[in-house]
């Protein structure tokens, strides 16, 4: 409650929260809100020349190249993009926490090996690695989520490792060890709660990166496959009509930009609120 009140006092964070909740609500209620089936190719959805229909009272955001309602596809595309964003980022944060805590707490050869593996993964360009993995595997919603998770956990692991190294030297951890506390108790009762603010912040910020990466993979044709709509493949399917029907690219591009910006604003606000070193500044 304290965190929510603090965020409501920040205009940028409030704007981000409103947009995030609006996008989530639209994704959840898509079957109720969408005026048409997103895969329905309508005869009156194309002009006599076979071109997409522009925005009108019948088609709020116009139609795509196959005569499907763009507004309906964006609503259902929000479901796809957000599911991938939440699932992939959740897995990435969990893996990053696991690797970072273990390497920072155990140290020695185990910690060194885990961190060298993390450094090796960080050496690969994330987008290039995601493209290779997506091309090798059969693209689907869950495969894309797994691919994105595999390339996004390394940043979390590095941050958690650094914080864990500092925590294990703190007096309260040394006192627990002297009292005979086991590794499980130290890790999950004393160290993990101190890392949760970092995990929450990175989890929120990472959703924006994940949504953008999913859109990029789908735009390149190796992400979520049609006819299942996602914001990225909507742009991919319509790129050749960019000049003749600019709304086909503008509307999905705008909603991707707005969603990513909103998650970043919320994440920045959470970092300022939850990070003790930021309190009292500004």
Q: State residue 197's pLDDT score.
A: 84
Token readout for 49 is: 């020349």
pLDDT of residue 23 exceeding 80, the answer is yes
> Around Cβ 187, how many Cβ atoms within 10 Å?
17
Q: What is the mean pLDDT of residues 160-184?
A: 81
Find the mean pLDDT for residues 247-276.
Answer: 86
CA-wise closest residue to 203 among 118, 95, 89: 89
**pTM summary value:** 0.82
The two most distant CA atoms of the chain are separated, in Å, by: 82
What's the full length of the chain, in residues? 282
Could you read off the pLDDT of 65-104 as tens digits, one per residue? 888 999 999 999 998 888 888 888 889 999 999 999 988 8
Please say whether the dihedral angle defined by the alpha carbons of residues 91, 96, 97 and 99, taken in this order, is positive or negative: positive
Mean pLDDT over 222-240 rounds to 83
**CA 268 distance to own-chain centroid:** 15
Rg of the chain over Cα atoms, rounded to whole angstroms, equals 22
Q: Where are the domains of the chain?
A: 70-274
Neighbouring CB atoms inside 10 A of 24's CB total 15
CATH of region 70-274, choose from 3.30.420.10, 2.60.40.10, 1.10.3720.10, 3.30.420.40: 1.10.3720.10
CB 234 within 8 A of CB 248: yes
């Amino acid at each position: 409650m304290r965190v929510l009140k603090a965020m409501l006092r920040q205009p940028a964070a409030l704007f981000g929260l409103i947009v995030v909740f609006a996008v989530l609500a639209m994704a959840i209620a898509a079957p109720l809100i969408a005026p048409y089936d997103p895969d329905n190719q309508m005869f009156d959805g194309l002009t006599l020349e076979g071109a997409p229909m522009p925005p009108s009272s019948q088609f709020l955001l116009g139609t795509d190249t196959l005569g499907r309602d763009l507004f309906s596809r964006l609503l259902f595309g929000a479901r796809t993009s957000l599911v991938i964003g939440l699932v992939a980022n959740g897995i990435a944060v969990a893996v990053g926490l696991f690797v970072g805590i273990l390497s920072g707490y155990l140290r020695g050869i185990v910690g060194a090996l885990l961190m060298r593996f993390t450094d090796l993964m960080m050496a690969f360009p994330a987008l290039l690695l995601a493209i290779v993995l997506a091309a090798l595997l059969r693209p689907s919603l869950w495969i894309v989520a797994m691919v994105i998770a595999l390339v996004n956990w390394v940043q979390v692991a590095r941050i958690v490792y650094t914080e864990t190294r500092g925590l294990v030297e703190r007096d309260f951890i040394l006192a627990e060890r002297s009292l005979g506390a086991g590794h499980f108790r130290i890790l999950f009762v004393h160290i993990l709660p101190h890392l949760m603010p970092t995990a929450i912040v990175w989890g929120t910020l990472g959703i924006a990166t994940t949504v953008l990466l999913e859109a990029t993979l789908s735009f390149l044709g190796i992400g979520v496959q049609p006819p299942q709509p996602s914001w990225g493949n909507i742009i991919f399917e319509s790129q050749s009509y960019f000049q003749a029907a600019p709304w086909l690219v503008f509307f999905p591009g705008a909603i991707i930009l707005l969603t990513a910006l909103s998650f970043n604003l919320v994440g920045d606000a959470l970092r300022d609120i939850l990070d003790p070193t930021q309190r009292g500044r500004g």
